Amino acid sequence: MVDVVDKPRRIALPGLGRPAPSLRALRRNAAVILSAAVALLVLGWALAPSLFASGDPLTGVPAEKFQPPSAQHWFGTDNLGRDLYTRMVHGAGLSLTATLSAVALAVVAGALLGLLAGAVGGVVDAAAMRVVDVLLSIPALLLSLALVTALGFGTRNVAIAVGVSLIANFARVMRSEVLRVRRAVYVEAAHASGVRWYAVLARHVLPNSYQPVLALAAVEFGMAVLAVSALSFLGYGAKPPTPEWGSLISEGRNYLATAWWLTALPGLVIIAVVLAAQRLGRAAGRTDRP
């Protein structure tokens, strides 16, 4: 007679077999959330500066000049007694408007150039890519500086110069995506069924090619912030006393030894915006992958 020993039954608990989220994933999500918070805060500065800083960014109290950061003046005061935090908040609108205009110009022009080159091919593709290679061979800041010197001073000309310097990056990415998509089966089927070429581009090629371009736009936004601030720092942006991020750093460099906050704090804000844009752009690029 053989004794039958019952084997212990395994009880399936919901979620027990799922792997716990890794520390790297948690850090990545926390960085994305923090970056989104920084982006929303700066966007709020640009859209409604009076809600974040109700003071006048153009006038100050001479008796309160060169005050360090405190509860009353978060970023301290400048050589004329103006609150630096108020000037940073009110300067966000002008700086971000120039940055968004530059990125929008680069996205539209670069996407059209890349779409045309990738769809037509042949001589048009070769000629367009040679122009892109020339633009890529010139440092973006040097090209922006040359263009804004030819166009003249002003925030609008700064945005145009920075936008033109970024066109080549978007054109190359868009062309590579168009070359990938146009070999797809559904695109060839659309051509075989008699659909006109421009309809194929609008219905099939473009909707399946623009996502990497938008992800690149988020990444290039940070570089555009640096370029616009650099040109403003050199004096090509808005005329004083209009606050602009780059010009605020330029105004404070003469007092770096005695009033470090005039350059350090605006610089840290720009760094935070650039890093947030880079992180959000990379996160968008990962979600766009199949």
The residue type found at 79 is N
User: Roughly how many angstroms between the first and final C-alpha of the chain, as a whole number?
Assistant: 60
pLDDT digits (tens, 9 = 90+) for 136-156: 888 888 999 999 989 888 889
Q: Looking at residue 21, what is its pLDDT? A: 53
Cα separation of 1 and 17, whole Å?
39
DSSP conformation letters of the chain: -PPPPPPPPPP--TTSSSPPPPHHHHHHHHHHHHHHHHHHHHHHHHH-HHHH--S-SS---GGGTTPPS-SSSTT-B-TT--BHHHHHHHHHHHHHHHHHHHHHHHHHHHHHHHHHHHHH-HHHHHHHHHHHHHHHHS-HHHHHHHHHHHH-SSHHHHHHHHHHHHHHHHHHHHHHHHHHHTTSHHHHHHHHTT--HHHHIIIIIGGGTSHHHHHHHHHHHHHHHHHHHHHHHTT-SSPTTS--HHHHHHHHGGGTTT-THHHHHHHHHHHHHHHHHHHHHHHHHHHH--
Per-residue confidence (pLDDT) for residue 286, from 0 to 100: 65
pLDDT tens string 184-212: 777 777 767 777 777 777 777 878 888 88
Low-confidence ranges of the chain (pLDDT < 70): 1-25, 191, 285-290
CA 173 to chain centre: 16
pLDDT value at residue 119: 83
> How much is the pLDDT for 16?
45
- Token look-up 């559904």 returns 186
What pLDDT does 189 receive?
A: 79
